[in-house]
Amino acid sequence: MPFLLSAVILGIVEGLTEFLPVSSTGHLILTGHLLGFTGAKAATFQVVIQLGAILAVVVIYRQRFLGLLRPAPKGETCFAGWRGIRFLIITSFPASIVGLVAHDSIKEHLFGPQTVAWALAIGAVAILIVEAYPRPKKYRTLDDMTPLLALGVGLFQCLALWPGFSRSAATIMGGMIMGADRKLAAEYSFIAAVPIMMAATTLDFAQNYTQFNGDELIHLAVGFVVSFFAAWVAVKGFIRLLQRMTLRPFALYRLVLAPIVLLFWPE
């Protein structure tokens, strides 16, 4: 299949799944195998186009991000200024350290359909357990954030280093277990993705961009742009859905997909 068409398809898949609790990386790996686009170059491509989806969140929540650049109003506890930045640093720290240490091993051993299938299934069971035993809601808006909540979300984010588990699922579940409202957990999951994903994609691209020739870099840019617009649609829709439903349908989807992958996808 032509690289340009693969780039468009992968961009759509990435954008639609990055912020849903179904694992964008897992879906990219599975889609890449269907398209015959695998190997080191494919793994780098799949990581880099995630930045397009991340930038969609920056635009959608631009007022929150601009607020981080201004001092918080005196005497108010809100998600702004150094207070908000501190929460993002706390959340990003655990997965950043684990990711730096295990980056090469993860790409070598976990970027395959079978490992993705197990992550999909295990993550689905975790979602169902969290939804079955809801915790009392102590935090309802971003302005209610605390260092403990930020750290809890950050520790759960480490689970997302296993492709197929889903960073969105891990962080939303972490927030809910810590007592966050489901909508708050999702919104903080989106925002907290920005620093760690920007760092990861920039590092990966800086290390591996020489794998791509001029035309392939253009195709990568196409995947990036497609990912941006698909993610915009997905984020807006997901937040509306969370007003009316739980995460259970996403868990059931994962439980259906996992055995299909195990049965029909090769190693």
Compute the distance between CA of residue 108 and CA of residue 182 in angstroms, rounded to an integer: 34
Q: How far is CA 12 from CA 48, 133, 188, in A?
A: 14, 34, 23
Residue type at position 212: F
DSSP reduced 3-state for 180: strand
pLDDT in tens, the chain (267 residues): 577 788 899 999 999 998 899 988 788 878 888 888 877 777 778 778 888 999 999 999 999 899 888 877 765 678 888 899 999 999 999 988 987 787 777 777 677 788 888 999 999 999 999 999 988 889 999 999 999 999 999 999 999 888 888 989 999 999 999 999 999 999 999 999 898 888 878 877 777 767 777 777 888 888 889 999 999 999 999 988 887 889 999 999 999 999 988 887 655
18: tokens are: 């990055």
Nearest residue to 149 (alpha-carbon basis) of 95, 141, 126: 141
Compute the distance between CA of residue 162 and CA of residue 235 in angstroms, rounded to an integer: 22
**Cβ–Cβ < 8 Å for 231, 57:** yes
Compute the distance between CA of residue 30 and CA of residue 13 in angstroms, rounded to an integer: 10
